[in-house]
Amino acid sequence: MVHQTELDGKGLDHVEILQVKNWMTPSPYYISSGETIREAAEKMEHLRVDCLPVIDDNDLFLGMITMRNLLFHFLRGTKSEELASNLLIRNVVSIHPTDSILNVNSLPYSHLPVLDDQGKLVGVLTQRDILDGFSKYIYKLQQKQNSAEALGVILESAYEGIAVVDENGVLQEFNEAYCRFVGIKREDAIGRHVTEVIDNTNLHITVKTGIPERGVLQNIHGQDMVVHRIPIWREGKVVGAIGMLIFEGVTEVYKIYERLQENNRKKVSQHELFTIKKEKDSRMTLDQIIGTSEEILHVKRMARRAARTAATVLITGESGTGKEMFAKSIHHLSPFSTGPFISVNCGAIPEHLFESELFGYEEGAFTGAKKGGKPGKFELADNGTLFLDEIGELPLVMQTKLLRVLQEKEVERVGGVKKYQINVRIISATNRDLRVMVDKGEFREDLYYRLNIIQLPLPPLRERKKDIPILIDRYMKEICERYQMPVKTLTGEAAAALMSYHWRGNIRELVNTIERLVTLVDGYIIGLEHLPISFHRKEDEDLVAIPPQAPTLMQEAKIQGDLKEKEIVIQALKQAGGNKSRAAEILGVHRTTLYQKLKKHGIN
């Protein structure tokens, strides 16, 4: 193995972005030490690769097997039943996840196994991965090299007026175009507060809120101008803002444009078909997922790498973090993108309907079965992606059947005798800890490992606060447009409260909060006093559990009623000898209602 110290000895800098772990293919395909030569050859042919790593039962790397090596031994008469591990190429150079691709590029291999400190295989780095990394690195170098020179050229030669303020709202840059428009010399503007130089400016507010504003109207010297206000972030903190003056005297033009946009929106909303909306909804891309923080960019990079393969993906994260959006993005970037994207909420389907929903049913399979039968979600998702949301809610019985389908790649309808071959990419998601559920016996361990080949953990919103201003700006404009209302703005105090809030419901809670504020606040300015009471508490107070209160009379009555209902259901089950259909008849309710009561009261 080539250790990091040996690589660093070549005198090349170790750059964070170029670490192998950022560009390798994680959880790669491999050959187990117990597989035969024939099995190894068939796997390479199926995957269309010319080499694969070999690992033992403890995931320790043993060596590499190449297609050329297999062909050589076949020609020499080696039996196909012999173990593939007998043909190992053991003197293979391996690399560490923290190595730099600047250093490993000189190694004369097209596939480099990536091993952790224990010698376990964690990834494979190809020449394509290295080229991707180099392209990104060169682009960043060019950006950094040209940024200082480009800034000076832009400021002095731009037709648009440009002003730059620091975190206190004091002007640091003021270009010639802006000087000509406001009639003030550059040396007289620099060092003064922006409100003293530019009429009706909100640039000092942008510094406080960190929320960008693009294409907004500002009246300067009696003229309506279109301006951009963009915050400057550094190490998670707003250190300044840029104001750009785009057009002069556009009042009438802008009003005409607004009317045209409004008419166009009405036409689209009246004529857009439902199928077109569904297609747009499933064509989600990673670029549409809002965020520039390192936390969300890291997840996007992982999603792009995961999408290259056909491996199952487990997306984890709290409720409201955007798990389905990432699932759709992976589908869009995957080899299955031309096929359908079928979503199943495992927590919303009654247990007794699960099998028919997932696998379908034949005509006459049960009372009320649809004539001609019905295809299941697996059949509908053939050659596409099946997204199993809330996989932690899947009943144990269905976990067993799902595992069999994943292993055999075929399904059988309820009441049928014919099996259907399927080619489906599985993406699952959960907000629960499946590892803990496995330990408690609530989730099958073998299914967990089958689903968890590539895990994509999504960070909660409170861990990516840098994205909150961007999200607020996007959804504020989107919701105002939806309700055909003028765009509203936040005060500095309100924005600070939103930034420091814990956001237990993550992005979903943020969108709901913005929608509530937009629809309920009458004016154009949303202040701290308009926010719900929970936003006025400090974060640590918000996290303190509220002590239990004594139940009210109505609550006490409901508790007693639930206990009585549970007692009656148990009595009916005993009278029916455990037969649920008979028990439902005794209670005078539908069997589906009985199942709901059993689940509600935790009756097995």
Question: Is the pLDDT assigned to residue 90 strictly greater than 60?
Answer: yes
Residue 540 falls in which region: left (phi positive, over 0), alpha (psi -120 to 50) or beta:
alpha
Task: For residue 418, give the CATH number of its domain.
Answer: 3.40.50.300
Structural domain ending residue among the three candidates 457, 475, 497: 457
On whether both 440 and 355 belong to a single domain, the answer is yes
Structural domain ending residue among the three candidates 457, 484, 519: 457
On whether both 439 and 563 belong to a single domain, the answer is no
d(CA 71, CA 5): 37
Helix (H) or strand (E) holding 257: helix 251-271
pLDDT value of residue 349: 83
Q: Between 162 and 553, name the one with better pLDDT.
A: 162
Q: Between 553 and 531, name the one with better pLDDT.
A: 531
Give Cβ neighbours of residue 135 (< 8 Å, ≥ 6 apart).
none
pLDDT value of residue 511: 93
On whether both 391 and 327 belong to a single domain, the answer is yes
Question: Considering the domain boundaries, does residue 151 fall inside one?
Answer: no
Domains contained in the chain, number: 5
On whether both 194 and 64 belong to a single domain, the answer is no
Q: How confident is the model at residue 259 (pLDDT cuts 50, 70, 90)?
A: low
Q: How confident is the model at residue 547 (pLDDT cuts 50, 70, 90)?
A: very low
Question: Is the pLDDT assigned to residue 289 strictly greater than 60?
Answer: yes
Instruction: Give 385's strand partners.
Output: 341, 425
Question: Considering the domain boundaries, does residue 520 fall inside one?
Answer: yes
Task: For residue 128, give the CATH number of its domain.
Answer: 3.10.580.10
How many residues make up the chain in this entry?
A: 604
On whether both 443 and 590 belong to a single domain, the answer is no
d(CA 406, CA 398): 12
pLDDT value of residue 235: 80
Question: Is the pLDDT assigned to residue 42 strictly greater than 50?
Answer: yes
Mean local confidence (pLDDT), 292-313: 89
Best CA proximity match to 546, nearest among 556, 529, 533? 533
Question: Is the pLDDT assigned to residue 41 strictly greater than 50?
Answer: yes
Note the pLDDT tens digit of each residue in 155-199: 665 557 889 999 999 999 888 888 877 888 888 899 999 998 998
Mean local confidence (pLDDT), 297-316: 90
Q: Which two tokens stand for residue 321?
A: 């973090």
d(CA 464, CA 188): 40
Helix (H) or strand (E) holding 420: strand 419-421
Q: What Cα–Cα distance (Å) separates residue 390 from each residue in 316, 340, 350?
A: 10, 20, 13
Q: Between 356 and 471, name the one with better pLDDT.
A: 471
pLDDT value of residue 435: 92
Mean local confidence (pLDDT), 380-403: 91
On whether both 191 and 107 belong to a single domain, the answer is no
- Report if pTM > 0.85: no
Note the pLDDT tens digit of each residue in 471-497: 998 899 899 998 888 888 888 888 889
Best CA proximity match to 212, nearest among 463, 471, 506? 471
Q: Between 428 and 351, name the one with better pLDDT.
A: 428
Task: For residue 565, give the CATH number of its domain.
Answer: 1.10.10
On whether both 8 and 21 belong to a single domain, the answer is yes
Question: Considering the domain boundaries, does residue 166 fall inside one?
Answer: yes
Q: How do the residues of the chain divide into helix, strand and coil, expressed in percent and rounded to 5?
A: 50, 20, 30
Mean residue pLDDT across the chain: 80
Question: Is the pLDDT assigned to residue 508 strictly greater than 50?
Answer: yes
d(CA 286, CA 326): 7
Question: Considering the domain boundaries, does residue 280 fall inside one?
Answer: no
Question: Considering the domain boundaries, does residue 112 fall inside one?
Answer: yes
Domain residues for the domain of 194 are 158-254
Q: Between 199 and 105, name the one with better pLDDT.
A: 199
Question: How are beta strands 213-220 and 223-234 bridged, if at all?
Answer: antiparallel
Mean local confidence (pLDDT), 366-394: 85
Q: How confident is the model at residue 3 (pLDDT cuts 50, 70, 90)?
A: very low
pLDDT value of residue 340: 92
On whether both 436 and 466 belong to a single domain, the answer is no
Burial class of 343 by CB neighbour count within 10 A (0 to 12, 13 to 18, 19+): middle
Question: Is the pLDDT assigned to residue 546 strictly greater than 50?
Answer: no
Question: Considering the domain boundaries, does residue 586 fall inside one?
Answer: yes
DSSP strands (E only) in 221-367: 223-234, 237-247, 313-316, 341-345, 360-361
Structural domain ending residue among the three candidates 431, 457, 483: 457
Question: Is the pLDDT assigned to residue 257 strictly greater than 60?
Answer: no
Q: How confident is the model at residue 360 (pLDDT cuts 50, 70, 90)?
A: confident
Percentage of the residues of the chain whose pLDDT score is greater than 90:
23
Mean local confidence (pLDDT), 508-531: 91
Q: How confident is the model at residue 369 (pLDDT cuts 50, 70, 90)?
A: low
Of the given ranges (186-200, 360-374, 377-391), which has the lowest mean pLDDT? 360-374
d(CA 31, CA 10): 33
Question: Considering the domain boundaries, does residue 293 fall inside one?
Answer: yes
Mean local confidence (pLDDT), 389-415: 88
pLDDT value of residue 542: 44
d(CA 552, CA 474): 43
pLDDT value of residue 203: 92
d(CA 348, CA 338): 27
Burial class of 23 by CB neighbour count within 10 A (0 to 12, 13 to 18, 19+): buried
Question: Considering the domain boundaries, does residue 261 fall inside one?
Answer: no
Q: Between 49 and 334, name the one with better pLDDT.
A: 334
pLDDT value of residue 539: 47
On whether both 411 and 497 belong to a single domain, the answer is no
d(CA 477, CA 465): 20
Q: What Cα–Cα distance (Å) separates residue 403 from each residue in 289, 396, 445, 534?
A: 31, 11, 10, 44
On whether both 480 and 538 belong to a single domain, the answer is yes
Question: Is the pLDDT assigned to residue 282 strictly greater than 80?
Answer: no
pLDDT value of residue 448: 93
Task: For residue 469, give the CATH number of its domain.
Answer: 1.10.8.60
Q: How confident is the model at residue 455 (pLDDT cuts 50, 70, 90)?
A: very high
Q: How confident is the model at residue 283 (pLDDT cuts 50, 70, 90)?
A: low
On whether both 228 and 359 belong to a single domain, the answer is no
On whether both 291 and 412 belong to a single domain, the answer is yes
